[in-house]
Amino acid sequence: MATPVTLSRAPIEAGTKLECVSYAPFRAGQTPLDPTTHIDADQITQDLTQLAKISNCVRTYSVDNGVDQVPAIAARVGLKVLQGVWLGNDRYKNQSQIAAAVALTKDFPGVITGLVVGNEVLLRGEMTAADLAATIRSVKSQVKVPVTYADVWEYWLRNRDVYDAVDFVTIHILPYWEDIPIPARFAAAHVDQIRKRVAAAFPNKEILIGETGWPSAGRMREGALPSRANQARVVSEILDLARREHFRVNLIEAYDQPWKRDLEGTVGGYWGLFDAGNRDLKYPAGEPIRNFPRWRAELGAGMGLSVLIFIAAIIAVRRRPWPPRLISWLAVASSATVAGALLGVAFDKLLVESYGIGRWVQWSLLLACGVLAPLVAAPSLMTGRALPTFLELFGPREMRTRSKGAWALGLLLVITTLIAAGTALGFTFDPRYRDFPFAALTMAVLPLFWMTLINRPPEGRRPIAESTFAGLLVLAAVYTGFNEGPKNWQSLWTCAVYVMLAVTLWRARDVQTPK
Residue 514's pLDDT band, with cuts at 50, 70 and 90, is very low
Note whether 509 and 390 are within 8 A (CB): no
Statement: the pTM of the whole predicted model exceeds 0.75: yes
How many angstroms separate the CA atoms of 60 and 67, rounded?
Answer: 8
Choice between 389 and 319, residue whose per-residue pLDDT is larger: 389
Provide the residue ranges of all domains of the chain, joining segments of one domain with +.
Answer: 20-269, 295-506
Closest CA to 418 of 482, 385, 465: 465
CA distances (Å), 350 to each of 147, 362, 363, 423, 494, in order?
43, 10, 6, 15, 16
Chain Cα centroid distance, residue 509 = 39
Residues 6+ apart with CB under 8 A from 407: 388, 393, 401
Note whether 248 and 148 are within 8 A (CB): no
Residue 513's pLDDT band, with cuts at 50, 70 and 90, is very low
How many angstroms separate the CA atoms of 299 and 294, rounded?
Answer: 9
| Angle formed at CA 213 by CA 18 and CA 358, multiple of 5 degrees | 125
DSSP 119: E
The full 3-state SS of 321-385, as one line of letters, equals CCCCCHHHHHHHHHHHHHHHHHHHHHHHHHHHHCCCHHHHHHHHHHHHHHHHHHHHHHHHHHHCC
Q: Which top CATH class is 20-269?
A: alpha beta
Q: What is the chain's alpha carbon radius of gyration, rounded to the nearest angstrom?
A: 27
Give pLDDT tens digits for 362-414.
999 999 999 999 999 999 999 888 898 898 888 888 778 778 888 999 999 99
Residues 6+ apart with CB under 8 A from 424: 472, 473, 476, 477, 480, 498
Residue 462's pLDDT band, with cuts at 50, 70 and 90, is confident
Note whether 221 and 490 are within 8 A (CB): no
How many angstroms separate the CA atoms of 58 and 56, rounded?
Answer: 7
Model confidence at 69: pLDDT above 90: yes
How many angstroms separate the CA atoms of 163 and 200, rounded?
Answer: 13
pLDDT of residue 9: 76
Q: Is 111 helix (H, G, I), strand (E, B) or coil?
A: coil
How many angstroms separate the CA atoms of 90 and 220, rounded?
Answer: 35
Model confidence at 204: pLDDT above 60: yes
What phi, psi does 226 have (nearest 5°)?
-70, 135
Model confidence at 331: pLDDT above 60: yes
pLDDT of residue 165: 95
pLDDT of residue 503: 96
Q: Which residues pair with 255 in a beta bridge?
A: 274
Q: At what angle do helices 228-245 and 184-201 cross, to 10 degrees?
A: 40
